[in-house]
Amino acid sequence: MHIKSLALVAAAVLTAGAAQAADLNKPAKVAVDYVKVCDAYGAGFFYIPGSDTCLKISGSVWLQVESGSTNTNGGFYSSAPRPAPAASFADWVRANVNLDARTNTEYGLLHSVIDFTVRYQDGGGSNANTTTIELDHALVQLGCLTAGRGDTFYEFSVTNINDWNFGESSASYEVNELAYTFSFGNGVTATLSLEDPTTAGYNDNTAGVGSSYVRQFNPAGGTFQYGGLNAPDIVGNVAVTQAWGSAQLSAVAHQDYASTVAAGSKWGYGIQAGVKVNLPMLAAGDFIGIMGAYSVGDLGAIDTNYSLYHNGDIGYDATYSALTGIKQAKAYSITAGFSHFFTPKLEIDTGIAVAGVNNYSQVVANAGYGKDTYTQWEGSVDLRWKPVTGFEVLPYVEYRNVNLTSATKVNYGIGNQYTLNYGLRLTRSY
């Protein structure tokens, strides 16, 4: 009996040993490389497996519907009856994806951003039933250097208004740029940037509106042409951000270049100053802001959100005729905003802007320029309700009024303009 037991034990030991010997010939199991949280740059970042780079994936999906009315007073500039306002309805669906990658290096933070939007629009007009892909940001930053497509360094916002509709120089726009930022500590910085104005959202080289293109009149043929880009915009700013709020002084040098060598070019400029003051004594997040801008030969310097009135020939940086040379538009804008949080989930945003344009874009009888002058004001208010984290309901209303001088009305056969828009945006952010 004992001999049989000993034999069984010996057999078990030999079997286990043989199994272990067989395992020695098998490759070792690879350890699972789990995704790890990266808390160095805030919530939402994680380490890309196998690297020391932190990545954040975010985005949004939203639906916006808008209705309203516009009275262009087309063809009526005297005491003749005005046409009835034209009603409109439109809707947009947008999907946005943002990738934010950051890595600490011996030369400072290596930071890159890819941000794009897919938009589908319906509701009539030239953009009806169209799908567009917009590259909002494609940036790389290393330390103080910025290169790629991003917000212009001329921009400074003083409102939280729905930037789809509002603002003389109140909302950001994106350009291709190369910039260097100097940091002096205590929230004070200065930036020098080279920017391509033809890549900005407000640019339209087929109409010459708000772009770097000079509208050139050919007296012999009675046609119009446009110059191209001959030099980038040179942008500089000095900014401060501290507990009390923020402020910025910006300037841009902008070349108006005609399409022929004989026309030559002229340099224009824009200057902008703004301040935003926090109001924590009212509620957390409250602020008030004001900003002013002035430009010569660069409507984009006061109209960063494409909200200036444009009609046909009105709205060019400059116009060229061999008889009188290059004439540059002069313009100004003043923008103010206020935001208040009734609760952390309910916010109201208000804004008002006034602008004036003195343009020379109308050639009269092939002999010179007519003076096209108008003033414009607009007011807007929106309400932001966030019932749950990541979901926002935003109703808004905006009114815009354009007053043209008598000579401008005669030149174009139009009267004063007004637009009333109201709409609703639903946004899911993640």
Q: 202 lies in a domain?
A: yes
Q: From the centroid of its chain, how far is CA 320?
A: 30
**Looking at residue 217, which CATH number applies to its domain?**
2.40.160
Asked whether the predicted pLDDT for residue 4 surpasses 60, the reply is no
Domain that holds residue 352: 60-92+105-429
Asked whether the predicted pLDDT for residue 96 surpasses 80, the reply is yes
CA pair distance 407, 219, nearest whole angstrom: 22
Q: 345 lies in a domain?
A: yes
Q: What is the pLDDT of residues 268-279, one digit of tens each?
A: 999 999 999 999
User: The tokens 């057999």 sit on which residue?
Assistant: 11
Q: Label residue 28 by pLDDT band (50, 70, 90).
A: low
Q: From the centroid of its chain, how far is CA 400?
A: 21
Q: Which residue has the higher pLDDT, 9 or 319?
A: 319
pLDDT at 261: 58
Q: 52 lies in a domain?
A: no
Q: How many domains does the chain have?
A: 1
Q: 370 lies in a domain?
A: yes
CA pair distance 265, 407, nearest whole angstrom: 28
Q: 409 lies in a domain?
A: yes
Give the predicted TM-score (pTM) of the model: 0.80
CA pair distance 304, 168, nearest whole angstrom: 6
pLDDT at 356: 86
Q: 11 lies in a domain?
A: no
Q: Label residue 386 by pLDDT band (50, 70, 90).
A: very high
Phi-psi region of 245 (alpha: psi -120 to 50; beta: other; left: phi over 0): left
pLDDT at 70: 65
The average pLDDT across 270-297 equals: 95
CA pair distance 215, 236, nearest whole angstrom: 27
pLDDT at 170: 42
Q: Label residue 191 by pLDDT band (50, 70, 90).
A: very high
The average pLDDT across 314-331 equals: 74
Q: 417 lies in a domain?
A: yes
pLDDT at 328: 84
Q: 15 lies in a domain?
A: no
Highest-confidence range of 30-34, 182-186, 199-203, 314-318, by mean pLDDT?
182-186
The average pLDDT across 196-200 equals: 79
Half-sphere exposure of 33 (CA within 13 A, CB side): 8
